Amino acid sequence: MSEGVLKTELPDNHEKSIQTPGEDRKYKVTRLICWSVCIGFAMLEVWSGRQYSDPDGICYLDMSDALLRHNWLLLINPYWSPLYPFLIGLATKLLHPSAYWEFPIAHVVNFFIFLGALASFEFLLRQAIRVCGRENERLDADSPVPLPAWIWGLLGYSLFAWSTFVLINGLRKVGPDLCVAMFVYLDAGLLLRLRCQAKRLPTFLLLGLALGLGYYAKTALFPLALVFMAVAFFAVGSWRKALLPTSLMLLVFAAIAAPLVIAISDSVGHFTFGESGSNNYARIVAGEKTFQFYFSTPPAYLEHPLNLIHRNPNVFEFGHPFSATYPLWWDAPYWDAGFKVSFNAKEQFRALGTSVLCLLAILVWQVLGPIAAYLTLLMRSFNISRCLRNTLRGWPLLIPSVAGLCMYSLVVVVPRYIGAFAVLIWIVLFSGIRLQKTDRSIKLANFAALVFSSWLTAMVAGSCIYHLVRPLPMLQGHGGTHYRAAEFLNENGLLPGQAVAVIGTGVDGMFWARLARLHIVAQIPPEYADDFWQVSAPRVKAEVYDAFARAGAMAVVAEEAPPSEGFADWQRVGGTRYYVHFLSSPKDK
C-alpha cells in the first residue's frame, strides 16, 4: 500500500468528514479494488470446484429438472427450498448442458448469485456508512468522527470475502447458502434505510418482497423474517407511523410466502412452512437415525418404513413414491415420519455446548487478528463508553443477527449457516467507532484497517489456492471419478431414467447416478455388505439378484472390490473403484 494511502489528511470541515460513499473518491477506488479481488477469488473457486457437489447438491439438481420436465411439483419439497434449484433449472433450460457440464453450469449459477450478493452487500455498506454519518451530522467540528468511508469499504469487503469464501464456501458447493447471504444483506440494508429515509413505505414494501423471496431460498429465513419485520416496526420510532407500512409489508410477505406454505403443508398432511428444522432437530439433538435400516422388523413408530425385500443379507427397496436420484436423501422427513420428538434438557444443553464451541473456534482461529484490530481502534477512540453506546444503536442489525445465531445454536452451528450474520455483527461493532481528529488517530485507524483486511484476505487467498492446487481425489482425471463411472454405465447399456441398486452407503452413489441419470431404488447398506460378499451358495446370490430385479434395478453397483472367488460376473466400472453386476445383458435393456 502506498504512503499516500496510509497518510490520510484530516478533514477540513465537518461536511467532508461525513462525505457519502458516492462522493468519496477514495471509497470509489477502494470499492473497485475490492470488487476486482473478490470477483477474482470467485472465478478461482468456480474453476477449482467445477465438478464438485455434496449430497445436498444432488437433490437441488433433481429439483432443477422441474423446468425441463414441465413438472412444477418437483420444486415442492418439505426439506429443500425451491428458489436455488429454480435458478439452476433456468440455466439448464437455456444452455442444455451434457452430463459432463451439469455441475459446472451449477457453479456458474453460483457465480451470478455471488454477484447478486456482492451488490446486496454494497447496498448494505452504503446504508451503514450513511446512517453512521447521519448520527454525527449535528455535532460540531471538534467532535469525534466515524470511520472514513474508504476504511469502511476496506473493512466491509474484507469481511464479505472472508464470510463468502471461508465460512460459507458458497461457490464450491451446489447449495443455496450464498443465496441466503444475499437476502440477509439486502434485508439488513433495507432496515438501515428505514432509519434515514422520510418516505418509508416503498422501503417497507421492498423489505416484505425480499423477506418473502428469502423464504423461497431457505426455510430458516421464514422465522427470521418475523424478526426482521418486528425490528422494522420498532425502527421507525413511532407505532402510529409504523402501523400501516408494517401491515402492508406483512401482507406482501404473506402473499409471496403463502403459496409455498400451502403446497408444502398439503404434501406432508399438516401445517408447516418446512420440515428441515424439525428433522434436523430430531436427528442431531434427539438422536434419531435418518432412514433407518433395520435388522428384522421396522420400528413400530415409523409411518413409512423401508421395504425389506430379502433377509441375510438384508436388501432394502425404496423406489416409491419418489422418482429421484436417491429417494432416501430426497425426502428424509417422509422416511422418518412417526418419530416423536420430545424435549430433553440434557441433550439440548449438549447441543448448545457444541454450538458454543464451534462459535469460539471460529472466533479464535479465524478472526483473532481482526479482533485485535478492532480493539486497537476502540482503545484509540475519543471515548470508549460512548463508542459502546453508539454500537448499541446498531440494534436493528444486531437483533436479527443474534436471533439467527441462537436459532442455529439450538440444533447445530455450521460455519456456512452463520457467515452472513457474523458479517452483520462486525458491521455493528465498527459502526460504534468514533475517532479523534488527530494525525495519530487517523494513522492508527489506517494501520488497523490494513491489518484487519490483510489478515482476512490472506485467509481467503490461502483457501482459494488450496482448493486450486489440491483438488479432491474424486475430481482428478477427466471429469472426475463420478463422471467416468457414469459414462461407463451409460456406454454399457444403462439408459437415463432406468433404476439401479447399490451395495454401500448410497450417498456416494448419488453422484454417478445423477450424472448417468439413473435412479437408486434398492440397497444393501454398509452394515450388511459383508454378509453379501461372504455368501458362497449360488442359490442365495441368485435370490439377492432376483430381489434387486424385482425392485426394478437393471444393475447393482458396489463401492468396493468384490472377493476374487465367486464373483467373477462383476466388472470394474471404467477404471474407478466401483464394480458393477448387470442383472440383464445390455441387449435386453
Q: Which residue has the cell 418446512?
A: 274
Tell me what percent of the chain is helix, strand and coil, each rounded to the nearest 5.
Answer: 65, 5, 30
Strand 553-558, strand 499-503: pairing:
parallel
Report the alpha-carbon distance of residue 426 to residue 421 in Å, rounded.
9
In the sheet that holds 315-317, the strands lie side by side as: 307-310, 315-317, 519-524, 499-503, 553-558, 579-582, 571-572
For residue 75, give the DSSP letter.
G
pLDDT of residue 13: 39
Q: Which pLDDT belongs to residue 182?
A: 97
Query: Cell 459432463 maps to which residue?
Result: 100
Classified as helix, coil or strand, 185 is: helix
CB–CB of 293/306 below 8 Å?
Answer: yes
Q: What pLDDT score was predicted for residue 252? A: 97
Helix (H) or strand (E) holding 376: helix 368-379
C-alpha cell at 57: 447438491
Residues counted in the chain: 589
Q: What is the mean pLDDT of each run of 10 residues along the chain (589 residues)?
A: 36 44 79 95 91 90 91 91 96 90 94 97 92 56 71 91 91 92 96 80 95 96 96 87 93 97 92 89 77 79 89 92 91 84 82 86 69 70 70 87 93 90 90 75 78 86 85 56 90 93 91 94 93 90 94 94 87 92 68
Full-model pTM:
0.89
Please state the domain extents for the chain: 3-266+346-469, 289-340+472-589
Contacts of 494 (CB under 8 A, 6+ apart): 500, 516, 518, 554, 555, 589
pLDDT at 481: 83
Orientation of helix 239-268 relative to helix 221-235, angle to 10°: 170
Burial category of 414 from C-beta neighbours within 10 Å (exposed 0-12, middle 13-18, buried 19 and up): middle
C-alpha distances (whole Å) from 234 to each of 145, 227, 251, 307 are 27, 11, 18, 53
Q: By the 8 A CB rule, do 382 and 144 touch?
A: yes
Q: Which residues contact 65 (CB under 8 A, 6 or more apart)?
A: 71, 74, 89
The one-letter code for the residue type at 74 is: L
265-274: long-range contacts, CB 8 A cutoff, minimum separation 24: 267/76, 267/77, 267/78, 268/78, 268/333, 268/334, 272/78, 273/215, 273/219, 273/222, 274/78, 274/79, 274/81, 274/219, 274/222
Residue type at position 251: L
Confidence (pLDDT) at 365: 65
Cβ contact 144:378 at 8 Å: no
pLDDT score recorded for residue 471: 61
- Could you tell me if 339 and 301 are in contact, meaning their C-beta atoms sit under 8 angstroms apart? yes
Whether a cis peptide bond, with omega within 30° of 0, leads into 104 is no
Q: Evaluate whether 583 touches 558 at the Cβ level (below 8 Å).
A: no
